Structure 1
Amino acid sequence: MQGMGGGDCPFEFNFDAGTFKAGDTVSYRIVGSPMFEDMPFAGALLEVHDDHVIIAGDPNDASVRYRGTRESRPQVQANEI
C-alpha cells in the first residue's frame, strides 16, 4: 500500500501464520469471485485455530466475521461474504 497516494501504509500486518494471535491485522484475499480476485483486504483476527482463522469483516459490526485459511495471507471464500 505504500506509494498509493504518498505516505506510509496505515496498517502493520502480521504475515507469519505461525505467530497469529487475536487482534493481529492481516492482509487477506477473497477467492472464488472474479470481482474480488486481485484486491487485498485488511482485517483483524478475532480467533486463531490450528487450521483456520476468523477475521473481522467490518470493524463497525461485530457480527460480520469471515472464516479464512491459516496462511500468511488468509484466503476467504467468496460465499462467506
Structure 2
Amino acid sequence: MKGMGGDGGEDCPFQFNFDPATFKVGDTVSYRVSSMEDWPFVGTLLEVHEDHVVISPGPNEPDARYKGTRESRPMVDGSEI
C-alpha cells in the first residue's frame, strides 16, 4: 500500500494478504466488523478453515479471537467484539 502515509508519502507499515485462496496462519489481513460501518482493522490469521478464518486483533487484546468470513477482507460479526 504505497503512499498511504499522507503528505510525506510513507508506505503503509503492513503487508496484507487480500487473496482468500492463499490465506495461511500468520498472514496479516484487513478485516471489517459488521457493526462498525466498514471501518478497516488489522489482524493476524490464527486459523484458516474452508468457510471461515479466526483472527487475532493484535497484542492489545492477546486473548481475543474473532471468527470471520473467508473473503478478501474478512467480516466479523459485531456481536463478537
2:13 is aligned with 1:10: yes
Q: What does residue 54 of structure 2 align with? A: 54
- Taking structure 1 as the reference length, the TM-score comes to 0.86
Amino acid at match of 2:58: D
TM-score normalised according to structure 2 size: 0.86
Residue equivalent to 2:37: 37
Name stretches of at least 5 consecutive residues in structure 2 with no aligned partner: none
Q: CA–CA distance in 2 between the matches of 1:70 and 1:62?
A: 22
If each structure's strand is expressed as a fraction of its own residues, which one has the higher value? 1
Q: Tell me the amino acid that sits aligned with residue 38 of structure 2.
A: D
Secondary structure of the 1:18 match is helix
Q: Return closer, same or farther for 1:4/1:22 CA change in 2, 3 Å cut-off.
A: same
Cα displacement (A) at 1:60: 3.9
**Letter paired with 1:13:** F
Other-structure match for 1:21: 24
1:65 aligns with 2:65: yes
1:57 deviates by 1.9
What are structure 1's unaligned runs of at least 5 residues? none
Name segments (4+ residues, structure 1) moved above 3 Å: 3-6
Q: What number of residue pairs does the alignment pair up?
A: 78
Give aligned-pair identity as a percent.
64
Q: Secondary structure at the match of 2:18?
A: coil
